[in-house]
Amino acid sequence: MKALDNQWRTSTRSGGNGACVEARYTDHTAQVRDSKDQQGPVLSFGAGQWAGFVRGIKGGNFNV
């Protein structure tokens, strides 16, 4: 997995259909936005919050 940087990125597992989120790391925060609405709102998370979220994903805590 590539580390986030200040460039918006989508998951390598996204289907390429535009129904995903993009993420980047800037100013010591992880930011997430809707790939279909790039001018829309951006959610920002501190490093600890983002690390916890990634651990949760890897641990299967967000299965739908």
pLDDT (tens digit per residue) in 1-54: 356 678 898 877 777 676 788 999 887 899 999 988 889 999 999 989 989 988
pTM over 0.85: no
Residue 1 is predicted with a pLDDT of 38
DSSP assignment of the chain, as one string? Answer: -PPP-SS-EE-TTS-SSS-SEEEEEETTEEEEEETT-TTS--EEEEHHHHHHHHHHHHTTTT--
Residue 43 is predicted with a pLDDT of 95
Residue 64 is predicted with a pLDDT of 62
Alpha-carbon gap, residue 34 to 37, rounded angstroms? 5
